[in-house]
A and B are shown apart, each in its own frame.
Chain A
Amino acid sequence: MCGFCGSFSERHWSAAPVSGARPTLARLNVAQIAGRLTAAGGVRLVAWGDRFQLTGRTGRTALAANLSEIWQATDRLGKAIDPLDEALLDRLEAGA
């Protein structure tokens, strides 16, 4: 993964269209959805102030400012997430 993809950017593309008026709600929504994926990798994700906090199974934590950083931190703290993983898709399609 390249380190320049949004990580050093103040305006991450994923925050642009909806978060202007309701940044906290937007972060809570992202934490809820992305948290389902990071949980599959053994990482707990919560909205924390104006960022996100990730906690691995060993208790190690990391902060992330945006979705790109969430995936980088998940790689470090737990199991990497692949949205093309068929087992993951089976679970999503089953509503799990």
Chain B
Amino acid sequence: MSAVLPPIVVDVLTGFLGAGKTTYLRRLLDAGALADTAILVNEFADLPVDQRLVGATGSLTAVLAGGCLCCAIDGDLKEGLLGLIQQRADGTVPPFARILVETSGIADPAPVAGTILGDRQLQARLRFGGTVTVVDLLNVAETLATQEEALAQIIAADRIVLSKGDLVDDARRAEAVAAIGAINPLAPIVDAEPRPGERLNPWRTIGWTTPTAPRRAAFQAVAQAGDRHNGLGALVLTWPEPVDWAVFATWLSALLHRHGARILRVKGLMRIAGETERGPVVIQGVRHVVYAPEHLADADDVVGAEFVMIVRDLDPALIRRSFEAFMALGQRAGETQRGARAS
């Protein structure tokens, strides 16, 4: 019997035209931070890496008729990913554990997750990792004011990397950081220049594996953030008890079905009633697309649910009311079941 291979993790590198994605990629490769990673680039570039591990995706902008962008299955990307999986299986490329997809500068990165999660051939073999967005400090204000894709790239980010920091003064940098944080308070913001000796793959640090401090800091930032532009809003939803999964899944799926285009991000942790010995699950979604929830072993501080939503043109207070009404419904159902068992 052959061993079941763990899924390959697919990461995304995005950023607007001229933001410095390829420069950042070269820097990571030079530092040896992407040693076990195959790369799908939007346009072929002469990268300092085994060229067998570099493929091209074409433009990540295809949208199927009747579909929305976040759910579109990108044929070029699918072929690129399947090609790499096959070559790894054949042994014609060095073994790799991750695939990094560099999007086009004018692409919304959401279809990458949609392609992986919505395609039968891909979903069994791949797992979506996270998104790093390169933001050009020199042009960020103008780009955000005029380019919807740049906004989508920041909203999708799990980590923001600032480029061209040497070309702006501290005041302008602080202004840009505040503007980015107001759009996506969940993503840590770091400099493109790595610290001396830094060889860490930045995508490996994404997620909730170091739970309490960064998570709480991000949630606090959401709670304290002031006015946002373009109708954007963010809210933190919490529940003090383990959550009835059927109730939560019913609520979130109905909410995304009706309002998915305006629910830009969902990210958080929750402990599930009846599954408390397995640790909390990570809930992550970009618009309609929800990633397969995974149990997390090392977040013992999570008792109930705590997660963030970034929304557009929706009333955060109404979402909170709806969430709490459904969670209370689950709690009442749980109490009824426990009462029935006890009697």
Contacts and interface: CB of A to CB of B under 8 A. Distances in A.
Interface in B253-269: 253-260
B295 A8 contact: no
B289 A5 contact: yes
B146 interface: no
Interface of B is mostly: helix
Nearest to A80: B258
Contacts of B315: 84
B329 A92 contact: yes
Interface string A9-46: 11101101110000000100110111011000000000
Contact of A30 (B249, B252, B256): B249
Given A4-B64, A71-B254, A32 B328 contact: no
Nearest to A86: B318
Nearest to A81: B254
A93 B255 CA distance: 17
Contacts, number: 129
B275 A95 contact: no
A89 B68 contact: no
B141 interface: no
A14 B289 CA distance: 11
B260 A83 contact: no
Given A1-B257, A18-B272, A89 B120 contact: no
A68 interface: yes
B118 A8 contact: yes
B118 A83 contact: no
Contacts of A13: 117, 249, 285, 290-293
Contacts of A61: none
A59 B343 CA distance: 39
B272 A83 contact: no
Interface stretch (B16-24, B155-163, B319-327): B319-327
Contacts of A2: 66-68, 70-71, 260, 288
A80 B257 CA distance: 10
Interface residues of A, number: 38
Contact of B247 (A8, A33, A86, A93): A33
Nearest to B295: A17
B291 to A, nearest CB: 7
Given A33-B329, A67-B253, A4 B123 contact: no
A80 B255 CA distance: 12
27 contacts: A4-B72, A4-B118, A5-B71, A5-B256, A11-B292, A13-B285, A13-B293, A16-B292, A17-B293, A18-B245, A18-B275, A26-B245, A30-B250, A32-B246, A32-B333, A34-B250, A67-B253, A68-B253, A68-B257, A71-B253, A71-B254, A84-B259, A84-B315, A84-B319, A84-B322, A92-B328, A92-B329
**7 closest cross-chain pairs (CB), A and B:** A29-B246, A67-B253, A14-B249, A71-B257, A4-B71, A5-B288, A13-B290
Given A4-B73, A16-B293, A84-B315, 16 more contacts: A5-B257, A10-B123, A13-B290, A16-B292, A17-B272, A17-B275, A26-B246, A30-B249, A30-B250, A70-B253, A81-B258, A83-B258, A84-B255, A84-B318, A84-B319, A92-B325
